[in-house]
Amino acid sequence: SINATKPFVVFFLRCQNQLFFTWNETEDELRTLLNMVASQDPNVIFDFEIGRRIPFLDAVIDKYEGELATTIYHNPKRQKYTLPYAINNAKLAHSHWLRSALIRAVRYCTTVYEFDFERISLEVACLANGYSLEFVEKRVNHFYTFFDATSLRQSLDQNVYEKLRLRLFNFISEQKLTGKRNQESEKKNERVRLFYLNAFGSKRKFNTQLREILSNYLKRKESSSASSKPNEIKILSTAKYQYSLNALLSQQKPNHPLLKKTMTKK
């Protein structure tokens, strides 16, 4: 068991059926321990690897200034600077992907320099796939502003980066709490989400005008009702289907008799 090796194991990780640990003794002693464990269960298989940089799951574990450090693992067999395939609104999908990829980079990268390298790689991927520099800068700046780390744009300060990492490690828990609150608001009819089709025009202007019209209508309705305490309602409007040409061509054609007819020569 791992408890018997505690004097020799400094760091231990487990993810489902995969293990990672550091070892302070000789390689021969480690192989002896692993062989002993493998002899007790034939289903146990070890991938023995020693090196300065060890890949584990989607991370690379390294030694930086005497301490363990991690960064994102990039499979050399995969093509670099590619974006995920998007069917409907590719711009919106890749915008969300860039934000998620930046969050993932902060959570994986121990040092600010490793994160900055990942950020540059993500920006190059967007530029290489036809997005403008304005598109990239707008979303990256929004990321830094949203998480109160705008100073990292000018200076790669490790202390500021540590605060950013701490914030993002708690970000998933914050999202779950926010999602739970939103569900409770929807049950109380205090939060309304509307979806609409938008083929062209400014979505921001349309959303603003739509919220104003609905808010004014609800205020007039509440003022005419007998309720003494009006409910505060939050209205969310979202463009649901913004098809690109690629999405339209890849969709299944409608089943109509006219499409089944063939041209005949007279």
Contacts of 123 (CB under 8 A, 6+ apart): 136, 140
* Cα–chain center distance at 217: 37
Q: Tens digit of pLDDT for each residue in 76-101?
A: 888 888 888 877 678 888 999 999 99
What is the reported pTM? Answer: 0.64
* 124-151 per-position pLDDT tens digit: 999 998 899 999 999 999 999 998 899 9
Residue 64 token pair: 């930086």
- pLDDT (tens digit per residue) in 214-252: 777 777 766 666 555 556 666 666 666 555 555 555 555
Domain ranges of the chain: 2-72, 90-173, 188-223+232-241
Q: Evaluate if residue 63 carries a pLDDT over 80.
A: no
pLDDT grade for 1, boundaries at 50, 70 and 90: very low
Average pLDDT, the chain: 76
